[in-house]
Structure formats: C-alpha cells, structure tokens
Amino acid sequence: MQNFCVNYTFPVIFTSDVFSLENEILVDVIKSSGMSHNRALIFIDSEVLKRTDGLLEKISRYAERHSALLEFAAEPNAVPGGELCKNEHCEIERIQTMVEKYKICRHSFIIAIGGGAVLDAVGYAASTSHRGVRLIRIPTTVLAQNDAGVGLKNGVNFCGRKNFLGTFAPPFAVINDSCFLETLSSRDMRAGMAEAVKVALIRDRGFFEVLYESRFDLASFNQATVKDMIFRCAELHLLHISTGGDPFENGRSRPLDYGHWSAHKLEELSNCDLRHGEAVAIGIAIDSIYSNRCGFLGEPDLNKILNILDSLGFNLFHPAVLLLDVERALDDFREHLGGELCIPLLAGIGVKIEVNDIDLNLMKQCVTLLAERVVNKEPLPVLPLCA
C-alpha cells in the first residue's frame, strides 16, 4: 500500500498598484522560488488591456527595474476576456506552444492577469505544460479576487459543458491588486458579489449580516466596503480549502457550489450572456426557495436572502430560466461530481446541509415561482411544504 502526503503552501496577498516601481510584492514572490534568475511569460486579459491605460508600459518599466531577477521571455500576450477564452481551445494550444517556444520550464513562471475566465484558461494551460509550470495569478475582478482566483481549480469548456476539462493545481501565489477594481463596469463589480453572498450563506451568518447591513453601500460600490467584502470572502474560501478535508474534491460533495447546479446550466443556455456571478445569484435564489419549501429554511431568512440579492441590483430572471431543464441540469451536475448527486441546501443562514435527492416537481415549481416573482414584482405565494 502506497501512502504519502504533500503539503501545499501559497500566499494570497492584497496590495495596490502591483507594477509600481516602488511595489516589491511581485519580486518578493519571485524571490521565494530560491532562484537567482527567473524566466516568465505573462498573459493579460484583453478586456483589462482595454480598460487600463499604460499597463504594458508599466510592466515594461517594472521588468527593466528588476531585470537581474526576472526576465520576461516574450512581450506580454493578450488573451480574449470572458468565456471566449474558455471556449476557444486554440488559445490553450497557443499558450502551450509559447511555453515550448520560449523554453519555459517547470521552474519558470506564467503570470496570468485577468478575470476568472482568463485565470481558469491560462491556469489550465500552465498546469498541463510540463505537468505544471509555476503560476502567479493577478485577479482583476471582484469575482476573481474573492473566489475564482484564490482557489485550486483551472478549467475550460468542452462539448458545450462548462469546465468539462480542468485540473486541480495550487498557484504559486495570488496577488490581489485593488487598482484593477477601479476600471470595472458596474455589471462586473456587482457580479462578483454573488459569490460573497454564497459563501456567507453556507459558512458564516455573521458575515451575511454584515453584507446585509451594508447592502446599499455595496450596491453603490463604496470602495472600502467592497474591499472588506472581498477580503472576508477570500478568507472564507481559503479556510474551506485548508480545513474542509477535501481540497481536490475527491468526495461527492462540493459545498462551495451552493446555487451552482443551475448557474452553470444557465450560463450555457444564455450563450454566456449571463455573467457567472449573475447566474449564481439566480441559482442562490432558486435553491433558497427550494430550501424554504422543503421546510429547512425559515421564511424570514428566505426573505433576507432575496432582499439582499435585489438590493445589490441583481436581476433574478433571464430568458434562459424558461429553458432550464431541471432534471438534465441536475444529472449533469451529478456526473460532474462523480456519480452520486449531492446538493448543498440551507437549514438557516450560515447552516449548510447536503441532500442526495431532489424533488423534481417541487424544484420546477421553485424555478417558476422565482420567474413569476421577478416578472410580476410580487412576493412569493405560500405553498405547502414538501413531505
């Protein structure tokens, strides 16, 4: 019987203006490799390049300042932003080809700057080149800084399925630069808040209450409030990875995926018109209504959940909701888990439970109820609880 353990350690660092000549965060991370000279390739979300004036020039000056320690093997490369990079597999091959062309080895670095989709795609290419090139993530969106960028997952879409191909590969480091948040659209700022609501619902009622009390500050994108939200959400995400007992999801449970069985399918059905966070907000609402109708979640808590999502500015309806095949979406989620269905639900805010069976008719009713609530702008009607 073979038995061994491997410890993983990586820092998640919060800073501002990472490529300022006075900021030593990135070079300190590079120095921790123990190598006196390090080579790297850098890939940047095309949307970030459009929004951030002078970014390439700043990176170039930074590289010149620290050329003794860090050598960029090629000019920074743009990667299409959003789900496009996860759907176009030629992008993955292009990154892998550059790794070969520029002799990037397992002791070199790939630096990925961008939103969650770009980090997923570049991370997948890095983790499958030489069985793993060191990856430094610099997330640039709320969702990436508080969720997607701080975890262990990399992935791309395949056969019309979200994240069908992917790896679990811890990054070498994560650097959250708050300056990138200043370039975001209102829609992208808001979308990332759904994951904060989600992690609060399943792990920390106190955090949820903080979010609830500050919901109007969050909705108006108060800078200090948003930063606090990102920090605590990232902290809870990392706590789950380090103490949850299953960081690589070998079991059948994916507790951090509350609301995600429908969210992933809604993204596909909307042809990615829905941002991930927008789809997650709808998924949270559906599963919260279902938790209530099953008698697990009280009416006051359900109302607070729907209220915070409304107050943050989420539209809890999209035409894709009408196309949602509940049975198929649950079956796809079950397959992704590895065989047995395991869906996280709520027995109260901050109290997660897991169920292996879903009442399909009731779940379909809950989807319809949410759609009618949004379209008609009326409270949810009272329904009998399921047996």
Express each pLDDT in 9-26 by its tens digit. Answer: 999 999 999 999 999 999
Q: Report the pLDDT value the prediction gives residue 381, as an integer from 0 to 100.
A: 62
Length of the chain equals 387
- C-alpha 186/C-alpha 129 separation (Å) is 36
Tell whether the model's pLDDT for residue 385 goes beyond 60. Answer: no
Q: Are 109 and 137 in contact (CB under 8 A)?
A: no
Tell whether the model's pLDDT for residue 96 goes beyond 80. Answer: yes
Question: How large a percentage of the chain has pLDDT more than 90?
Answer: 84
- C-alpha 190/C-alpha 78 separation (Å) is 25
DSSP state of 384: P
Q: Report the pLDDT value the prediction gives residue 5, as an integer from 0 to 100.
A: 86
Residue 251 pLDDT grade (very low, low, confident, very high; cuts 50, 70, 90): low
- C-alpha 317/C-alpha 19 separation (Å) is 40
Q: Average pLDDT of the chain?
A: 93
- C-alpha 283/C-alpha 240 separation (Å) is 21
Give the three-class secondary structure for 14: strand
User: Given the structure tokens 């399909």, which residue do they identify?
Assistant: 360
Is the alpha carbon torsion for 374, 375, 377, 383 positive or negative? negative
Q: Report the pLDDT value the prediction gives residue 256, as an integer from 0 to 100.
A: 80
Q: Report the pLDDT value the prediction gives residue 79, as an integer from 0 to 100.
A: 97
Report pLDDT digits (tens) over 113-168.
999 999 999 999 999 999 999 999 999 999 999 999 999 999 999 998 888 999 99
User: Given the structure tokens 């990232």, which residue do they identify?
Assistant: 234
Q: Report the pLDDT value the prediction gives residue 252, as an integer from 0 to 100.
A: 62
Amino acid at residue number 248: F
Residue 95: how many CA atoms within 13 Å on its side-chain side?
35
Mean pLDDT over 211-230 rounds to 98
Give the three-class secondary structure for 346: strand
Strand partners, 13: 175
Q: Are 118 and 81 in contact (CB under 8 A)?
A: yes
Which tokens go with 57? 């020039």
Residues 6+ apart with CB under 8 A from 157: 83, 86, 87, 163, 164, 165
Residue by residue, DSSP assigns 116-177 as HHHHHHHHHHHHHSTT--EEEEEE-SHHHHHTGGGSSEEEEEETTEEEEEEEE---SEEEEE
CB atoms within 10 A of CB 255: 17
Report pLDDT digits (tens) over 327-346.
999 998 888 767 788 999 99
Residue 387 pLDDT grade (very low, low, confident, very high; cuts 50, 70, 90): very low
pTM across the whole model: 0.92
Question: How large a percentage of the chain has pLDDT more than 70?
Answer: 96
Mean pLDDT over 275-287 rounds to 97
Q: Report the pLDDT value the prediction gives residue 336, as an integer from 0 to 100.
A: 73
Strand partners, 109: 40, 134
- C-alpha 366/C-alpha 7 separation (Å) is 43
Structural domains of the chain in order of their starting residue, each with its CATH number: 12-183 (3.40.50.1970), 192-376 (1.20.1090.10)
